[in-house]
Chain A
Amino acid sequence: MSKSTTNFYMRFPVMRRIEHIIMLLSFTTLGLTGLPQKYPTSSIGAFVLNILGGIETLRLIHRSAAVVMMFGTAWHILVMGYSVFVMRDQMSMLPSIQDAKDGIQALLYNMGIAKAYPQMGRYTFEEKLEYWAFVWGAAVMGATGFLMWNPITATQYLPGEFIPAAKAAHGGEAVLAVLAIIIWHMYGVHIKRFNKAMWTGTQTEHEMIHEHPLELADIKAGIADRRPDAATLRKRKMFYYPIAAIVTLGMLAGIFGFINTEETALTTITPLTETEIYVPQTPQP
């Protein structure tokens, strides 16, 4: 057994781990408070509704968690911008034909058809699938969530039917996302092997050999991401930070707009009829 405990390879820097925690918490909260809204009459739905203080409280928590996720997404965009424009890292998360080939090969290997399991780089096809599924989900949920949160504004530009359609998509996507996390994420990083990299930030050489052999090879060969020299870094930062600041302002404005575009409904409705209750019939004298 060549379990090396001496060589650790950085996999997720602190910032990425924080992102993960933000997404983990907001996603879980969104799922827990969202599904009872989709299935309010189920016993579990009713149970969650009750312990969280009723539907209106649940909606408030749900929307708060959505805002947290929006901040998480904005933060991720900034970090990605830094990685791409300042550090000039390889865009190793982008999907490629190779990922499809790897996926098929892995499946064939599992079924006993292919001889070997595919060798993969920094992100395996499983990880990329999950990442892009999350991106897709976040986009759908964000867009449909906006429509439901701001239906009056939305219907100034879109047909009214988009609102119930958004609700349908939001619910369908929610079921898909939660179950996908349970099946794919749980199996991939908890059951198959309890992968602590997202918490410790590092992986051992042994783990790298098994899971990311191509990345390890790149590191060993010295062609993996290298930190730019200080002068270049400073120059790029000078360029990136102002742009990032503008983008940040834009995203904050977007989030603010998401929350505050409209006061959808009055909180109290005036009674429908101010009827005089006692109007007796008067007999002729």
Chain B
Amino acid sequence: MDFRKLLRSTRFSPLRPYGTVSREASRIVRSTLRSYYPDAHSGVQALFFILGFGLLVFALVSLATPAQAAPSYQESSEPSYQGDKPSNDFCLACHQEEGIKITLGKESLPVTINPTQFGLSVHSQEGIACADCHTGISDYPHPNVKVKNTRDFTLSFLDTCKNCHEDQYTKVQDSVHQRAFDEGNKNAATCADCHDPHTQTRLTGKTSGELTPSARLDIPKTCAKCHRGIYDSYKYSVHGNALTQEDNTDVPTCISCHGVHNIQDPTAITFRNSTPFLCAKCHTDSTIMDKYGISTNVLNSYVADFHGTTVKLFEEEFPGQPTNKPVCTDCHGVHDIAKVGNSETGIAMQENLLTKCQRCHPGATANFSAAWMSHYEPSPEHNPLVYYVNLFYKFFIPTVLGGMIFFVITDIYRRIVNRAKGVKHS
């Protein structure tokens, strides 16, 4: 008997949404079926069984529904087949079974899909069918998987996401991950490495399009899957600590600085030269900084200094050319950015700052670090000498030039008057 035809012709799926099928019911159904059809694949068994024991399933399901209260999967009365595609119910009937694996060469690939997790996923909620991505499979037995390891299996879906996510896909083509991949590094992240398609929940607000707070908190963990060393450094930084310990969403996550999808090479000169403006995006924003009592003048004071002037000009005119002048990260750290007031590492302490200076100025001695005005505007309290020099010129320049201009004007006046009178100028 051809079950598929039968299912199609009935236009009726007796299988309730898998999210609501209790595990117990599933177990009973499967074990029963297995005893009847010891050679058949459990999925087909289930379907066959369901046809016969529909009423039982209905009963079990309706009992289980309130207790499970899965928010996820929308109830549907769709048939097991929509056109040529099997419905998700159809697939999950088998794939929700725990511990099922396929063998690829020497590796085994778990093919269990947790119905609850999948039900919470954005793909499930948007009604994406398994078969939309798993295009080669329309019934059982499935065609043989040709790849020989799990990584290649993932990579065999490389272009799948493009069908719906072309923007993101295109951006990724311009990313450091894609470049590494093109250079032969198969470990370089592809879509599914960051976004497990079976469990990926919605990351952005449906109307706002902005990253949701919870998504933001999860980002470093996602990157940590491959960049654990950097994550460990970030975790203890002033930013990472606030994010991981206090769920603070004001602080930058990985993508705040590195971008998402079209992630650029952070060791590139262009990236380095633009660092001050990257940091300034938040650090000149008083709506964020005022909460923490942090100055928003940090970019201005940096650019006003010799180092910052140079970097700004490089960034504007020659973004691809290296400069030996420091950017924010050279003094404050990269992933391990610490509070400046920290007595052990904080660069508000002259001794700590001096070690930063000495990276580029090996001969620098104790007084040298005070040549940097620590982002302060010169004032009688901070850098008074600079303040008074500026004050002096503020009066000295107009006084001298004003005197000169005054004399020149009187001289011009005298010449005009004398010429009118016909007097020769002495």
Contact = CB atoms under 8 A, between A and B. Distances in A.
Pairing of A with B: yes
Interface of A: 37, 40-41, 46, 49-50, 54-56, 103, 106-107, 109-112, 116-117, 133, 148, 151-152, 155-156, 158-165, 167-169, 172-173, 175-176, 179-180, 183-184, 187, 192, 210, 262-273, 275-281
B324 interface: yes
Contacts of B396: 172, 176
A175 B321 CA distance: 30
Interface in B213-231: 224-230
Contacts of B334: 272-273
Given A168-B386, A265-B324, A155 B368 contact: yes
16 contacts: A37-B309, A54-B317, A56-B323, A106-B407, A109-B414, A152-B361, A152-B365, A160-B372, A161-B371, A172-B389, A184-B408, A269-B359, A270-B359, A271-B267, A272-B334, A277-B230
A180 B400 contact: yes
B401 A278 contact: no
B297 interface: no
Interface in B364-402: 364-365, 367-373, 378, 383, 385-386, 389-390, 392-393, 396-397, 400-401
B63 to A, nearest CB: 36
Nearest to A166: B389
B385 A161 contact: yes
**Most chain A C-beta atoms within 10 Å of own C-beta, residue among B227, B267, B369, B392:** B227
Nearest to B382: A161
Given A164-B371, A269-B359, A156 B310 contact: no
B329 A272 contact: yes
Contact of A160 (B360, B371, B378, B408): B371
B347 to A, nearest CB: 14
A40 B306 CA distance: 11
Contact of B404 (A112, A169, A184): A184
Contacts of A263: 363
B401 A275 contact: no
Given A160-B369, A269-B330, A279-B226, A183 B401 contact: yes
Interface residues of B, number: 69
B426 interface: yes
A266 B358 CA distance: 10
Nearest to B368: A155
A279 B227 contact: yes
Nearest to A161: B385
A151 B361 CA distance: 10
Contacts of A273: 233, 334-335
B229 A276 contact: yes
B6 interface: no
Contacts of B411: 106, 110, 187, 192
Contact of B371 (A163, A276, A279): A163
Given A176-B397, A266-B324, A155 B364 contact: yes
Contacts of A116: 426
B230 A275 contact: yes
**Most chain B C-beta atoms within 10 Å of own C-beta, residue among A37, A107, A278:** A278
Contacts, number: 180
Q: Closest 8 interchain pairs by CB? A: A160-B370, A172-B393, A110-B410, A163-B371, A155-B367, A279-B229, A117-B426, A160-B371
A107 B409 CA distance: 10
Interface in B287-315: 303, 305-306, 309-310, 312-314
Given A110-B414, A160-B371, A275-B233, A165 B426 contact: no
B313 A49 contact: yes
A162 B386 CA distance: 8
Given A280-B187, A280-B228, A164 B373 contact: yes
Contacts of B410: 107, 110-111
Contacts of B211: none
B362 interface: yes
A277 B397 contact: no
Contact of A49 (B317, B397, B415, B417): B317
A264 B361 CA distance: 6
Contacts of A158: 367
Nearest to A213: B426
Contact of B363 (A176, A183, A262): A262
Given A164-B386, A192-B411, A276-B229, A176 B224 contact: no
B404 to A, nearest CB: 5
Contact of A167 (B306, B310, B362): B306
Contacts of A107: 407, 410
Contacts of A280: 187, 225-226, 228
B400 A176 contact: yes
Given A275-B229, A277-B230, 5 more contacts: A54-B318, A164-B371, A265-B324, A268-B324, A279-B228
Given A156-B365, A268-B324, A168 B389 contact: yes
A38 to B, nearest CB: 9
B360 A266 contact: yes
A116 B424 CA distance: 12
Contacts of B363: 152, 262-263
Given A184-B404, A265-B360, A272-B334, A161 B224 contact: no
A169 B324 contact: no
Given A40-B309, A155-B367, A278 B397 contact: no
A277 B227 contact: yes
A8 to B, nearest CB: 21
Contacts of B369: 160
A112 B421 CA distance: 13
B296 to A, nearest CB: 18
B359 A187 contact: no
A49 B312 CA distance: 12
B25 to A, nearest CB: 31
A266 B426 contact: no
B326 interface: yes
Interface in B326-371: 326, 329-330, 333-335, 359-365, 367-371
B413 interface: yes
B55 interface: no
**Most chain B C-beta atoms within 10 Å of own C-beta, residue among A50, A161, A180, A281:** A161
B401 A173 contact: no
